[in-house]
Amino acid sequence: MKLESVPDGEYAMIKQVKDLPENVLGFVCHGHITKDDYDKVLVPAVTDALKSHDKLRLYYETASDFSGIQPGAVWEDFKVGMEHLTRWERFAVVTDIDWIKHTMQFFSFLMPGKMKLFPLSQAAKAREWVTAKE
């Protein structure tokens, strides 16, 4: 899995996965995530991908060194998802963190696409699922 840092060379706690099909966005979260991480990495990637794809898929992993997320980043995550609600086709959420699993299960009824949870040990399987042809 190839990861890329933000374009200006700054270190962000969200890394974009680059070896996925064009209609699949992948992100791996490390350390403590801030709103600034979303603004510099996730939001521009989603905005750019939506210019050339009607539907997108998302691979979202919390790495073993993930330590939390700022409330402003949670709000940004919610906004990005809701602003483009009908354009999400499939979500693979990869985490061993219980509160994230429970939150995703609780809000899954709001998601128009398919959502599936995977433990970190099944990250490769999650990438296969999110990129699979229907």
Which of 6-10, 31-35, 49-53, 123-127 is least confident?
A: 6-10
Domain coverage including residue 104: 3-131
Section 92-96 average pLDDT: 94
13-60 pLDDT, tens per residue? 889 998 999 999 999 999 998 888 888 888 889 889 989 999 999 999
pLDDT confidence band for 1 (50 / 70 / 90): low
Which is more confident, 87 or 116?
Answer: 116
Domain total in the chain: 1
Q: Looking at residue 68, which CATH number applies to its domain?
A: 3.40.50.10600
* Buried-state track 106-129, b at ≥16 Cβ within 10 A, e below 16: eeeeeeeeebebbeeeebeebbeb
Its pTM stands at: 0.83
